[in-house]
Structure 1
């Protein structure tokens, strides 16, 4: 590591001492201070090759000092360290020119790696701060995401780095983890915040209407097209298009979407004049797209076009330290919406933290809203929570493996219903579930019959032509003869 002069600002002397020792051992010259004013004087004097500063200082918030530092010395990297582990802090630090946002506590080896990167990089001025619809800086309470856990800190850091870009983002995570909230935050704090945010849920639209919904159609393009319709791409011009449940997009529509991403333009269904696609794409899914690629249900080239910046949202069971903050946040939101203000007792928080939350954050939000409306007391106690969880749920593996096929299917169906605010999944659930059950049933039968479709049709009780059509519609690949049978990415031997 090439030696440098590093300015460290923190009113906690122990942190200054630890950083002084670690950076000095790495060969650097270190100057420490406990105030923003003295840090600013050192910067004005031209001292230092790098700044490491806490956010909350006795005399001034370092985030307010950052723009002045960047105006005076735009090539001086600033690393911001903070115990305020919110998305707003990460966004402000990035927007105001910080090289890196480092939540406390942090690993010293990670800090040294960041220091080395910062010394090898020179950055220019940051984009202007994000504004709300009134043109005012966003307030912290308006931020859509809550969580101080390490897994959420990583999400915040990725989001902060890509806020000011048009990079395509793929958000993955279980149902109810807040994928649309992340997409909206990327839009509301990004360079396209003045444009529209348009969302389309692939699982909620009949398969034969998806292309029309996405790209629009001309009058007379097909039976029932009585007038021209504007598609979501056109509605989102200048803004962000959020493609939710992208794993449920039919292959024909995937091909057309890929062409739009490659060429930057599209045509309406039945149209001939290309329209420039001036949109930022954010996609999301709770499904494993790599597995769908192996099964022939998702295009690999489209996956790589969409997965430019992956953002994984952790399930609530992986961020239990956030549960109390989230619960209080949802109770406050319920109060803001006219319900009585409730608080949580310590033993109630213990129960909430111990629960496994199959419906993730959405399930917690619905529970808090329900308790705010129905609880007779101002304080929610342990028995109130336990009453909501009166039916002990067996372990996931037990529910999947034990009992009948119907019980296993019921387990997965419960996840579909629990994951939505009103307990009702989007329209088209029957076809969606049928596809998910039908494909493995046909695949397993074809494996058993070694690709003999006549025998498979007899086992299934289907007409041979019907089975052929289903194999084609479900993109099931079958190889016959003495070779192994390859079905949807899996290989079955004899």
Structure 2
């Protein structure tokens, strides 16, 4: 029996060595190269059963090589690896025909699992080629593992019109996810229409969604198109779906079931030709239990759930976000600013109740109000204290808080639900522990102003143990005693 052959193209010698050893131990033949030209020659000669390729190579971009490989050998599966851990890398790899995209540094067990799955999975029917690459606007930023998971889910969903439910706190970027699904999906040439349920008076929601006929109600002097008609051929984004009143929920459910609707005051059915992306900051399962949201509608909308993590759960993304926002405001005409290392550490230690939107607004204020080119930690401290300190310092008795055990249980349910819905989650135990442990240590250090001796005493940890956890969890250390 001939062993499957894996072709590896990566200009990093250490990665080639690691993959040669790991794939060899797993029963594969391996051929490696540091450039795209050799990989292409092997493909032309009929070599290999699977390709693993880096994106940035000395002679050619690995993403540009994918369409040529797929035209010549459509049965050859391709796995893309990249240190350019952006949404666009994942989208381009998927749309050009890659079987899977893995960000660097990659998990070796996961890569071996992808290789086995790729070789065992029957090839789907060829999809029509995308009409050119989508514009690289980087609507979502971050290199954290949580964001990498979201990038890969969005990339997979660009080839299908599945209904998506985006859940996340205010300011996390739910509309950005909806726009990414539209801009890089099949309906990119159609309209993107958004409606915020919380901003529309209850009595007008049905008219806003489905339109109305002339004379349907007092003041209806003309026929008006609703958002479903306006979004025909494109995407309809239903923001804050948890605030939709019951009567509108019933009509929306009927549209999802039957694929058509009638205008308010109308009789002739209108075909609904839209992809729906819904979003909410609420726990809709709790709303179902309280009787304010229909369970059957929830399951119609929650075909593919995407949870956007709050910024405090991905503080490693704060530097890239802050620099991006500072560059953005500089391009709009405000002075160029940079952040000192200590200032960046203060940002990473903050809780960010307003999430990414709060961070963006802070960067705008810094660029507009402060004359110095380099922003110090003291300036950050003043800004954060003035704009959110009062809320963070409020006594616990005045703040409605979710019990820790309940919050952890909710996150675990989401991890397991994502796995059941075809988006495998790995290392759930380690991820849940890290989500609790990292902010606990980070906030304790912030409260002691970086004094590790005091922080260790507060946490009940040995000082050496605390230092090891700070190092392992890559927690930014605020300068101070200890």
**Superposition TM-score, scaled by structure 2 size:** 0.80
**CA deviations over 1:342-399 (Å, ceiling 9, x no partner):** 1111111111111110000000000001111111112211111111022574897x84
Cα distance in structure 1, aligned partners of 2:82 and 2:189:
30
Which of 261, 266, 273 lines up with 2:268 in the alignment? 273
2:229 aligns to what?
234
How far apart in 2 are the matches of 1:196 and 1:400? 47
Shift of 1:2: 9.7
* C-alpha distance in structure 2 between counterparts of 1:130 and 1:88, whole Å: 16
Q: 2:303 aligns with which of 271, 291, 308?
A: 308
- How far apart are residue 145 of structure 1 and its match? 1.1
CA distance in 1 between counterparts of 2:292 and 2:2 reads 50
Shift of 1:129: 4.3
Contact in 1 for aligned 2:191/2:232 (Cα 8 Å): yes
**Aligned partners of 2:131 and 2:150: how far apart in 1?**
18
How big is the alpha-carbon RMSD for the aligned residues of Structure 1 and Structure 2? Answer: 1.9
CA distance in 2 between counterparts of 1:88 and 1:346 reads 28
CA contact (8 A) 2:36 2:59 kept: yes
In structure 1, the residue matched to 2:7 is 7
Asked if residue 102 in structure 1 is aligned to residue 97 in structure 2, the reply is no
Instruction: Report the equivalent of 1:326.
Output: 321
Cα pair distance change 1:264/1:107, threshold 3 Å: same
- Work out the CA distance in 1 between the residues paired with 2:129 and 2:174: 26
Tell me the secondary structure at the aligned position of residue 282 of structure 1.
strand
Q: 1:147 aligns with which of 142, 149, 173?
A: 142
Matched, 1:167 2:162: yes
Q: 1:349 is paired with a residue of what secondary structure? A: helix
- Per-residue deviation, 1:87: 0.6
Alignment of 1:374-393 (within 5 A): 374-390=369-385, 393=389
Change (3 A) 1:4 1:394: farther
CA contact (8 A) 2:142 2:320 kept: yes
CA distance in 1, matches of 2:115, 2:289: 41
Match of 2:348 in 1: 353
Q: Give the Cα–Cα distance (whole angstroms) in 2 for the partners of residues 225 and 74 of structure 1.
A: 56
Q: CA deviation at 1:147?
A: 0.8
Q: Where do 1:95-494 residues align within 5 Å?
A: 95-121=95-121, 122-123=123-124, 125=126, 127-129=128-130, 131=132, 137-140=133-136, 142-390=137-385, 393=389, 399=394, 401-403=396-398
* Structure 1 pair 2–395 and aligned structure 2 pair: CA distance change class (3 A): farther
Distance 2:306 2:131 in 1: 21
Number of equivalenced pairs? 399
Moved over 3 A (4+): 123-131, 137-140, 391-396, 398-401
* Cα contact 1:7–1:31 (8 A) shared by 2: yes
Query: Per-residue CA shift, 1:138-179, capped at 9, x if unaligned?
Result: 454x22111111100000000000112211111111100000
**Structure 1 residue 223, shift from structure 2 partner:** 2.1
Counterparts in 2 of 1:46-57, with a 5 A limit? 46-57=46-57
Q: Distance in 1 between matches of 2:255 and 2:179?
A: 22
Q: Which runs of 5+ in 1 are unaligned?
A: 132-136, 410-494
Query: Partners of 1:250 and 1:8 in 2: how far apart?
Result: 55
- Distance in 2 (CA, whole Å) between partners of 1:126 and 1:354 is 46
Greater shift, 339-348 or 359-368, is seen at 339-348
Q: How far apart are the structure 2 equivalents of 1:220 and 1:127?
A: 45
Q: CA separation of 1:124/1:51 partners in 2, compared to 1, >3 Å: closer, same or farther?
A: farther
Quote the Cα distance in structure 2 between the aligned partners of 1:347 and 1:119. 48
Instruction: Assess, with a 3 A threshold, how the Cα gap between structure 1 residues 218 and 2 changes in structure 2: closer, same or farther.
Output: farther
Q: Give the conservation status (yes or no) of the 8 Å contact 1:251–1:298.
A: yes
Contact 1:146–1:325 (CA under 8 A) maintained in structure 2 = yes
How far off is 1:401 after superposition?
3.6
Q: How many Å separate the matches in 2 of 1:123 and 1:147?
A: 31
**Partners of 1:113 and 1:291 in 2: how far apart?**
36
8 Å Cα contact 1:74/1:124 also seen in 2: no
> Does the CA contact (< 8 Å) of 2:134 and 2:183 recur in 1?
no
Matched position secondary structure for 1:298: coil
- Counterparts of 2:21 and 2:177 in 1: how far apart (Å)? 39
Pair 1:269–1:258, CA change in 2 (3 A): same
The CA deviation string for residues 88-133 of structure 1, in whole angstroms up to 9 with x for no partner, is 11111011110000001111111111111100122455543465xx
Structure-2 separation of matches of 1:30 and 1:49: 10
Whether 1:41 and 2:41 are equivalent positions in the alignment is yes
Q: Which runs of 5+ in 2 are unaligned?
A: 402-482
* Mapped partners of 2:92, 2:310: distance in 1: 26
